[in-house]
Amino acid sequence: MAWTALPKSADYEAYDVIIIGAGISGINAGYRLQERNPNLTYKILEGRHEIGGTWSLFNYPGIRSDSDLYTFGFPWRPWTDRASIAQGGLIKNYVKESARVYKIDEKIQYNTWIESAAWSTPDKTWTLQAKIEKTKPATYKARFIYFCTGYYNYHEPLKAEIPGIDNFKGTVIHPQFWPENLDYTDKDVVIIGSGATAITVLPAMADKARHVTMLQRSPSYVMAIPREDPIEKMIRFFWWWAPPVQAWLLRTKWLIAPLILTSFAARYPEALRKISHRQMERLLPKSIPRDPHFTPSYKPWEQRMCMCPDGDFFAALRAGKCDVETGHIETVTEKSIKLKSGKELNPDIIVTATGLKLIFAGGMNLTVDGKPINLPDQYLWKGVMLEDLPNAAFYIGYVDASWTLGADSTAQMMCRLMNTMAKEGVTEVVPRRTAEDKENMKETDLLRLNSTYVNKSKSIIPKAGDRGQWVPRSYYFKDIMNAWYGDLKSSAEWIR
């Protein structure tokens, strides 16, 4: 590699690359480094006690993926379960096993929380200050940092404006912090929200609860998909003797199908709206009309569509123990939820499935030569590196497809970039907007959704542009080709 090894010291640990986060993105990044940059040393620093990221943190009833596992899983270790939408526990075990098989887990240090990262131009080095087990200070040095921290705030949920919620004398739970031993047997439950979490929790709680009501301010699109569709069954039938071919075909099918769906939604939103409405009308019980409960005001895929395997959400509604209320909350009293429509709900438990708070780079402080970097002021280069921030990559997945696809295209691009640096004797790469960029480029959204949690995050995440290297991610096939063959030099300073 072009850069020389960092000097050893008893005061710090030094590596070529430090990966922050041992979730899907971090484990995948470690694999790609081992595969394509075997001469580099790396370490994964994880703030929690185990591998898994999101799948370690969230433990609410029914927790599952909201995209298929054939593309959410790693391309280098295919998902083999027959269910395309999988429960959280299975996903966590899959990630752990993948890390173990390729000895990536040997590179992980747990319970290590990074507080700050400082770049020194004279030294061409990052210095990270951390706390181990919340108390023991530690210092790490690296030539490159990968921020595989996801974009959810692990410590603080999105605060929803629910009038009078503090008055409630029953149990109030946010799914992000679900109590381990909560007993909701024969309890009346109200889930406030209409997103993927609410759609998941309702059928999961219905088995034990007396009654479950989903209370929503505005409806979402809910799509029932089979756990194993006819195409998947056919692939398994004809290619049972060749597992690698079977895995490739299943993954390819799931790469193409969502792309067709989102492209169709962009071109023919009204047609997809009608198709979705017809499916929901067919699956809903007669006691719950589609309008107003399942008639969203936005177009399909302007917000992420909620997927329910084998229509379990609708099955729970048809069983009679669950229902839906659409309206605005006037106030929450000690024992009830009063709606502006005049209706009143009397839950024992309120679940506030109102969204997640976004955060970028784990909320740590970043500086370059002592100067703080304010993330919302900077643009993201190729959807990966931050303007004016040397030798640092941010792993961001897709919001309308599997997260892992975006994370892996990032990992492959970074391996190529570092190998190119080695060939050319480059020690530092810094994205820079040109004078033309600054004069003519218009700001655009980094995340292509208008969901509440995304809109509320615009003041804390970086910007994207409408041209050149600053445009946000588009779709996997384009991004992976860009990772393999795209321009790495424009709007970036390569320093020898």
Output the pLDDT for position 54. 85
Cross-strand bridge partners of residue 140: 13, 128
In the predicted model, is pLDDT for residue 91 greater than 90?
yes
- CA-based torsion, 8, 14, 17, 22: positive or negative: positive
Q: Is residue 454 very low, low, confident or very high in pLDDT (cuts 50, 70, 90)?
A: low
pLDDT of residue 448 exceeding 70:
no
Q: Could you give the residue range(s) of every CATH 3.50.50.60 domain in the chain?
A: 13-155+358-495, 165-352
Contact by Cβ (8 Å): 381, 387: yes
**Would you place residue 53 in the very low, low, confident or very high pLDDT band (cuts 50, 70, 90)?**
confident
CA distance 331 to 339: 7
Decide which of 155 and 195 is more confident.
195
pLDDT reported for residue 2: 52
Q: What is the pLDDT of residues 351-393, one digit of tens each?
A: 999 877 777 777 788 999 999 998 888 999 999 999 999 999 9
pLDDT for residue 455 is more than 60: no
Checking if the pLDDT of 248 tops 50, the result is yes
Highest mean pLDDT among 144-158, 170-184, 444-458: 170-184
What does the pLDDT look like over 14-51, one tens digit per residue?
999 999 999 999 999 999 999 999 999 999 999 999 99
- Residue 137: partners with Cβ closer than 8 Å, 6 or more residues away: 129, 130, 131
Residue 131: is its pLDDT beyond 90?
Answer: yes
Cβ burial of 50 (10 Å; 0-12, 13-18, 19+) is middle
Domain 165-352 -> CATH class:
alpha beta
- What pLDDT, on a 0 to 100 scale, did the predictor assign at position 1? 47
Calculate the average pLDDT of the chain: 90
Query: What's phi and psi for 31, nearest 5 deg?
Result: -60, -45
pLDDT at 458 over 90: no
**Three-state SS at 480:** helix
Give 324 or 376, the one with higher predicted confidence. 324
299 pLDDT above the threshold of 60 = yes
- 13-155+358-495: which CATH number, 2.40.110.10, 1.10.10.10, 3.10.110.10, 3.50.50.60? 3.50.50.60
Is it the case that residue 73 has pLDDT exceeding 50? yes
Q: Are 175 and 195 in contact (CB under 8 A)?
A: no
- Whether residue 151 has pLDDT greater than 90: no
Quick check: helix, strand or coil at residue 33? helix
Mean pLDDT of 109-120: 95
Question: How would residue 453 be classed by pLDDT, with cut points 50, 70 and 90?
Answer: low
pLDDT of the residue at 262: 85
Per the model's pLDDT, the better-predicted residue between 481 and 66 turns out to be 481
pLDDT > 80? residue 482: yes
Confidence of residue 293 (pLDDT cuts 50, 70, 90): very high
pLDDT of residue 161: 84
Indicate whether 481 pLDDT > 80.
Answer: yes
Residue 474: its pLDDT value, please?
Answer: 81
Q: Please report which confidence band the pLDDT of residue 459 belongs to, taking 50, 70 and 90 as the band edges.
A: low
Tell me the per-residue pLDDT of 385-444, one tens digit each, with 9 for 90 and over: 999 999 999 998 887 788 899 999 999 999 999 999 999 999 999 999 988 888 888 888
For residue 413, the model assigns a pLDDT of 96
Backbone angles phi, psi at 35, to 5 degrees: -75, -40
